[in-house]
Chains A and B, each alone.
Chain A
Amino acid sequence: MTNNGQSSKDQTPDVPSAEVRAADVALDTAGGAMGPSIVPVSSQSGDPGHQEGNVLRRIVMGNGFVSVLAVIVALFLGGLLIASTDSQVAKTAGYFLARPGDFLQALWAAMTESYVALFQGAVFNAREGFKPLLETMTVATPLICAGLGVALAFRAGLFNIGAQGQIIISATLAAYVGFAWHLPFGLHLLVVIIMGVLGGAAWGAIVGILKARTGAHEVIVTIMLNYVALFLLDFLLNTAAFRRPGDNSPISPRLDETATYPVLIPGSRLHLGFLVAVALTFGVWWMLNRSTIGFEFRAVGANPVAARTAGVKVSRATILVMAFAGALAAFGGVAQVAGTEKVLTGGVAAQIGFDSITVALLGRSTPWGTFFAGLLFGAFRAGAVQMQIQTGTPIDIVLVVQSLIVLFIAAPPLIRSIFRLEPKKKNKTPKAAPKAALANASGGAK
């Protein structure tokens, strides 16, 4: 097995993509190892054959410049949306023809006002200096962890929509150990982390096992498990074991002091969990790029048939990668209860699990890309609170901007056409040659 894995190191990347296309149906079932899934594996993963740039491949290999443009366009459209509901803009639009200057001024004011408030809440303001940046890092911590989990699964060709559930389960377990057990300093935090991570890994592994054994599609299973986790948490918070003594509201006792991450910088909420997230980012990078198992994951993601031929156990890799993804998301759950919130509530996972999908997409499923995307979205989240307080712009604008960013990044031709960038110049990579060959080959086949 190991030998085969070694030899496949040389072969897999060179497998001609035309074969992939021919073996479409076999691909879907991973050569019979799995039942057919709703979305064929070929379209989920980095199968290079089908399209002029499969999206995941494009996200991984894509152009950083397009990402920056995508962020700018998304922010601009978000600004237009804010302005469209601004009363001053509406008023000046009424006499637009008489004094267009007023309208443009109001438009600019409405667009910038919210973003300035957002920036002040996320990075820097005159009153607190760079303290908001620490808050951004705190908010970004679980996003980075969960984003890494989603990204890792993407690289193995799996859509892990289940970070939300994995966070909830891990946070629940970690919090319970944190407030119900009383252990000495150091050991307690360690046990909290281990329990949380095991919970998240198990919740993720369920998906992997169902996918590998029965072919159940991971998108559906993860979405459903998110709801199951949510209701489980809701149920537990209404039991005596999880409630504060003598209190009927669904909120857990505070975690013991010994069970929480130490605060890094006094006066802020930034805790050790952020450094853990940095370490995890490095760890995932190492795993994907330097370890055999990471190579197997990528091989399965790029081409399950070739991976299987080369001796990779595809079903084992599927289960493992989902367990790892769950464990990574679990660090986010632990960071929430043992670091940021210090209590368990029904809203402990907020929107983190869903945001982490967009984080992984924006980060092109690379570990460090995910890290910085997590920071950016952490800044949006942290700043949006301040923005809502100062300007009354609803936090939901962040969702709009985030989803627009991902839409634009997923469709580089769109951004290129907006900015009239020449699309033909981009194919300078060595990949371009086999792709062109494939296009010709399939044309001939037809």
Chain B
Amino acid sequence: MSATTTAPKPGSTALPVFRPSLKVPVSLGVLALIALFFFGFMGPDQTAEMKISDAGDAVAVPALMIPGQVGGIVFGILLLAMAAYSVYLWTQGEKSPKWLPIAFAVVFVFALLVWIVAGARQPSISLAGLVAGSVTLAVPLVFGSLSGVLCERVGVVNIAIEGQLLGGAFTAALVATMTGSPYIGLIAAAAAGAAVSMVLAVFSIKYLVNQIIVGVVLNVLVSGLTGFLYGTLMVPNKEQFNTPGRLDILPIPLLSDIPIIGPILFEQSIAGYLMYIAVAVVWFGLFKTRWGLRVRAVGEHPQAADTLGINVNATRFWNVTLGGAIAGIGGAVFTLVTIDSFTKDISGGRGFIALAALIFGRWNPIGAFLASLLFGFAYNLQSILGIIGTPVPSQFMAMLPYLVTIFAVAGLVGKSRPPAASGIPYVKG
């Protein structure tokens, strides 16, 4: 490994020269060329209008006006420069810094946005609305991916996020309707998510069943159960079982009037605030507390943790259960915030996107949060594009999160490494 440092020096040629992977420079270069060519040279002639503040806002900020073709060329050159920097670092035997792909992604997404908006029938878009909508759509994803983080950090693969979300959504609708209080529904959703998780935990920890199989099967089971109960209970008696009402939006005075940031941070339902709290608490807990150290030890090296007196399987059991409870709250967002009733398979594959966000965010709560926001943005863009009318078929926009995930797991955004013992049952002995 000493070759890493000695590589650039002359005279060390006898040693095998260590070079970091070419994946990042090459993929950035290809994407930059695509951006320059399609967004720039083939770019639309119209000028894209990006409104920052709405008409009714207290503070008026002028809209950004970006000419499509010129903007595309400028962004393309900027992206090329970043790719070139990455190649330069590679020739020096250095890895690209972490911020480079992130900055690249931000510029690329913005270039894409300008290209799409400038090519639309109606080349105007509200940035504030776009961002706020993205956050709203990202809320269940954030909860789901936090559940995944908690489970995988302790060494249990959680494919059942989809089932936990769906179970939470169903239970929230049912209990909120029966008790008349969305808040009790929210608590019940957490319990339901935890219950799904407990099945995962029991089967994978006690019966040592392969965790992926249990996860896949649990998703089917929850889909079947909720679908069955929806058909037999909720459809015939909507009033009695499926009119949960919504969680109130609780704006924080003054702060919620700040343009863009206000509505995102300070004009949420309790579930929205819980999301920010959960991200912070899970991050702090995992990386700054004794509990987190233990959890990570169990996920990385259960034998060592056991030797130090940590009860591996109990830690796993309770962590997985906690993860399920968090995902359950995320599920409640579907039926108590987004819409105010349950429909069959309402989570619609968001659990898998949450799984993708967790990998994209490299098993880190904050990374998972940012990745969820990105996917939320893609979802929101998709629906907005339907309104403003664009040359890109909406199906391709819909594909985008999934394609991005494939690129991510293929290591194009840097190597992602899961906790070492993730997926391996621990048998004491």
Q: Could you tell me which A residues sit within 8 Å of B by CB distance?
A: 25, 35-40, 42-44, 50-56, 81, 85, 159, 161, 210, 214-217, 219-221, 223-225, 227-228, 231-232, 234-235, 238, 354, 357-358, 361, 393-394, 396-404, 406-407, 410-411, 413-414, 439, 442-443, 446
Which of chain A's residues have a CB closer than 8 A to the CB of B406?
Answer: 210, 216, 220-221, 224-225, 228
Q: A235-B396, A407-B221 are in contact. List 7 more A-B contacts (CB 8 A).
A: A39-B422, A40-B424, A52-B208, A216-B411, A238-B393, A399-B224, A400-B225
Which of chain B's residues have a CB closer than 8 A to the CB of A394?
Answer: 227-228, 230-232
A406 touching B217 by the CB < 8 A rule? yes
Nearest B residue to A42 via CB reads B424
**What 6 A-B pairs are tightest by C-beta distance, nearest first?**
A399-B224, A396-B227, A394-B231, A39-B423, A235-B395, A403-B221
* A38-B418, A55-B210 known; A221 vs B409 contact (CB < 8 Å): yes
A446 touching B303 by the CB < 8 A rule? yes
Which of chain A's residues have a CB closer than 8 A to the CB of B355?
Answer: 220, 223
Q: Whole-angstrom distance from the CB of A163 to the nearest CB of chain B? A: 12
Which of chain A's residues have a CB closer than 8 A to the CB of B23?
Answer: 214
- In the complex the two chains form, what is the Cα distance from A36 to B232 in whole Å? 46
- In the complex the two chains form, what is the Cα distance from A159 to B213 in whole Å? 9
Which of chain B's residues have a CB closer than 8 A to the CB of A50?
Answer: 424-425, 427
Which of chain A's residues have a CB closer than 8 A to the CB of B349?
Answer: 227
Contact of B232 among A38, A54, A85 (CB under 8 A): A85
**B132 at the A/B interface (Cβ < 8 Å)?**
no
User: Chain B's interface: helix, strand, loop or mixed, by majority?
Assistant: helix
- In the complex the two chains form, what is the Cα distance from A403 to B216 in whole Å? 9
Nearest A residue to B423 via CB reads A39
- Pick 5 A–B contacts, CB within 8 A, sort by A: A219-B212, A224-B406, A227-B352, A232-B395, A394-B231
**B403 at the A/B interface (Cβ < 8 Å)?**
yes
A43 touching B425 by the CB < 8 A rule? yes
- In the complex the two chains form, what is the Cα distance from A310 to B73 in whole Å? 54
**B218 at the A/B interface (Cβ < 8 Å)?**
yes
A399 touching B393 by the CB < 8 A rule? no
A43 touching B210 by the CB < 8 A rule? yes
B424 touching A410 by the CB < 8 A rule? no
Which of chain B's residues have a CB closer than 8 A to the CB of A35?
Answer: 411, 415
* A358-B220, A397-B224, A407-B203 known; A39 vs B211 contact (CB < 8 Å): yes
* A221-B406, A411-B207 known; A399 vs B227 contact (CB < 8 Å): yes
Number of interface residues of B (CB under 8 A): 59
B210 touching A44 by the CB < 8 A rule? yes
B405 touching A220 by the CB < 8 A rule? yes
- In the complex the two chains form, what is the Cα distance from A40 to B23 in whole Å? 23
Contact of B213 among A217, A393, A406 (CB under 8 A): A406
B423 touching A40 by the CB < 8 A rule? yes
Which of chain B's residues have a CB closer than 8 A to the CB of A410?
Answer: 203, 207, 209-210, 213-214, 217
Which of chain B's residues have a CB closer than 8 A to the CB of A51?
Answer: 208, 425, 427
B399 touching A231 by the CB < 8 A rule? yes
- In the complex the two chains form, what is the Cα distance from A37 to B152 in whole Å? 13
Which of chain B's residues have a CB closer than 8 A to the CB of A85?
Answer: 228-229, 232-233
Nearest B residue to A210 via CB reads B410
Q: In the complex, which residues 252-272 of chain B have their Cβ closer than 8 Å to any Cβ of chain A? A: none
Which of chain A's residues have a CB closer than 8 A to the CB of B227?
Answer: 394, 396, 399
* A38-B423, A399-B220 known; A217 vs B409 contact (CB < 8 Å): yes
A36 touching B221 by the CB < 8 A rule? no
B224 touching A398 by the CB < 8 A rule? yes
- In the complex the two chains form, what is the Cα distance from A210 to B403 in whole Å? 13
- In the complex the two chains form, what is the Cα distance from A82 to B198 in whole Å? 24
B396 touching A38 by the CB < 8 A rule? no
**B159 at the A/B interface (Cβ < 8 Å)?**
yes
A411 touching B231 by the CB < 8 A rule? no
**B157 at the A/B interface (Cβ < 8 Å)?**
yes
Contact of A228 among B220, B399, B411 (CB under 8 A): B399
Which of chain A's residues have a CB closer than 8 A to the CB of B230?
Answer: 394, 396
- In the complex the two chains form, what is the Cα distance from A54 to B425 in whole Å? 10
Which of chain B's residues have a CB closer than 8 A to the CB of A43?
Answer: 210-211, 423-425
- In the complex the two chains form, what is the Cα distance from A361 to B216 in whole Å? 11
- In the complex the two chains form, what is the Cα distance from A52 to B226 in whole Å? 34
Q: Whole-angstrom distance from the CB of A423 to the nearest CB of chain B? A: 12
**B3 at the A/B interface (Cβ < 8 Å)?**
no
A442 touching B424 by the CB < 8 A rule? no
- In the complex the two chains form, what is the Cα distance from A389 to B152 in whole Å? 43
- In the complex the two chains form, what is the Cα distance from A217 to B152 in whole Å? 15
Which of chain B's residues have a CB closer than 8 A to the CB of A55?
Answer: 208-210, 213
Contact with A along B333-366 (1 / 0, CB 8 A): 0000000000010000100100110010000000
B217 touching A407 by the CB < 8 A rule? yes
Nearest B residue to A404 via CB reads B221
- In the complex the two chains form, what is the Cα distance from A394 to B230 in whole Å? 9
Q: Whole-angstrom distance from the CB of A153 to the nearest CB of chain B? A: 12
